[in-house]
């Protein structure tokens, strides 16, 4: 594409038209992903997208089962070591996986194996703690066996909270103490979008 600068001289310029599925790569699920009456990405306040980050490591049980999920006991075990979950945090599950390799494996095997959150843990984080977001190093916040009915998506997103799927590099983030910056363009009606999930620590 060519353009003309202020002096009337043509300058080289490059740009692309981009068309993508919102729920691609490392991405955020906005509440409206599970109901258009809920907040879209553009309606999530910035103060909900810069939050303390907590990492719960379930890699030991994920090594035994590709469908391992976070249970309330995992959260309580984390709290015994690190103290109560900070208010307004994001809880990320470290299952020790590369989410994109897992997605390719599932596609090849026509399977839905996936680590994620169990519904009891999701309810605990929403109702007994003050958690704003959850994140998984898999491609769904629901663990594999729950994928057909998506109970965690239904409950969590419809409560006005967000999720990040396909987060990476959790092994280099401390269990507590990092600040998560969820870099997402505030597109008015988006139900999700690829994000730069940046941990500062
Ligand atoms: Zn999604």
Q: Tell me the CA–centroid distance for residue 153 and ligand 1, in Å.
A: 9
Evaluate whether 173 touches 135 at the Cβ level (below 8 Å).
no
Q: Tell me the CA–centroid distance for residue 13 and ligand 1, in Å.
A: 33
The percentage of residues in the chain with a pLDDT greater than 70, rounded to a whole number, is 95
Local structure of residue 2 (DSSP, 8 states):
E
Write b or e for each residue in 14-32: b if 16 or more Cβ atoms lie within 10 A of its Cβ, otherwise e. eeeeeeeebbebbbbbbbb
Burial class (CB in 10 A: 0-12, 13-18, 19+), 84: exposed
Question: Residue 78: pLDDT band by 50, 70, 90 thresholds?
Answer: very high
Structure tokens that stand for 117 in this block: 């959150």
Q: Tell me the CA–centroid distance for residue 138 and ligand 1, in Å.
A: 11
Q: Tell me the CA–centroid distance for residue 191 and ligand 1, in Å.
A: 8
Residues with Cβ < 8 Å from 46, sequence gap 6 or more?
Answer: none
Domain 21-200, CATH = 3.50.30.50
* Spatial distance between the Cα atoms of 194 and 169, rounded to a whole number of angstroms: 16
Give residue-wise pLDDT tens across range 150-178: 999 999 999 999 999 999 999 999 999 99
Give residue-wise pLDDT tens across range 35-73: 999 999 999 999 999 999 999 999 999 999 999 999 999
Q: Is 89's pLDDT higher than 80?
A: yes
Q: Tell me the CA–centroid distance for residue 10 and ligand 1, in Å.
A: 42
Q: Tell me the CA–centroid distance for residue 48 and ligand 1, in Å.
A: 18
Q: If you average pLDDT over residues 5-26, what whole number do you get?
A: 85
* Angle (nearest 5°) at CA 67 between 63 and 70: 85
Question: Residue 2: pLDDT band by 50, 70, 90 thresholds?
Answer: low
Task: Provide the whole-model pTM.
Answer: 0.92
């Amino acid at each position: 594409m060519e353009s003309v600068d202020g002096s009337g001289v043509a300058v080289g310029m490059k740009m692309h038209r981009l068309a993508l599925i919102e729920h691609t790569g490392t991405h955020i699920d906005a509440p409206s992903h599970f109901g258009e009456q809920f907040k879209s990405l553009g309606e999530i306040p910035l103060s909900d997208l810069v939050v303390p980050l907590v990492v719960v490591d379930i890699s030991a049980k994920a090594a035994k089962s590709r469908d391992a999920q976070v249970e309330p006991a995992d959260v309580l075990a984390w709290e015994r070591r690190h103290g109560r979950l900070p208010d307004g945090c994001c809880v990320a599950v470290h299952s020790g996986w590369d989410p994109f390799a897992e997605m390719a494996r599932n596609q090849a095997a026509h399977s839905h194996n996936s680590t994620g959150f169990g519904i009891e843990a999701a309810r605990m984080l929403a109702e007994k703690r003050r958690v704003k977001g959850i994140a998984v190093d898999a491609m769904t916040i629901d663990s594999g066996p729950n994928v057909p009915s998506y109970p965690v998506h239904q409950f969590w997103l419809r409560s006005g909270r967000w999720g990040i799927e396909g987060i990476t590099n959790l092994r280099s983030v401390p269990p507590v103490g990092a600040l998560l910056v969820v870099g997402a363009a505030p597109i008015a009606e988006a139900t999700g979008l690829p994000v730069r999930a940046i941990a500062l620590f």
